[in-house]
Chains A and B, each alone.
Chain A
């Protein structure tokens, strides 16, 4: 797995995620990185489509349903406590 620090360099994060507990994709997976009107993720250049998100700012995504995982990611981007979001990602769809 890889730790990717995404600086809040744009007003949006600019990713789409699918998955969560009790779905076919048990951990959130990046399905889109917005390139036109690039968001922070695009500017960062290290997140890739297909990567599975294991942790956000050290908080595990395991066992979280889709809306909960999406809410945590959104809140990590929104908070003014940090000027970045740390993603622990893996290229592989880890079995649970």
Chain B
């Protein structure tokens, strides 16, 4: 699970 997490992409950031 930990390895899978690390492969997830970073998120974009949205200004609201």
Contact = CB atoms under 8 A, between A and B. Distances in A.
Interface of A: 12-20, 22-25, 31-32, 34, 66-67, 70, 73-74, 77
Chain B at the A interface: SS class: loop
A74 B6 CA distance: 29
Contacts of A24: 5-6, 8-11
- Please tell me the size bucket of the interface on B: 10 to 19
A34 B15 CA distance: 9
Chain A at the B interface: SS class: mixed
Interface in B1-16: 5-6, 8-16
Contacts of A25: 10-11
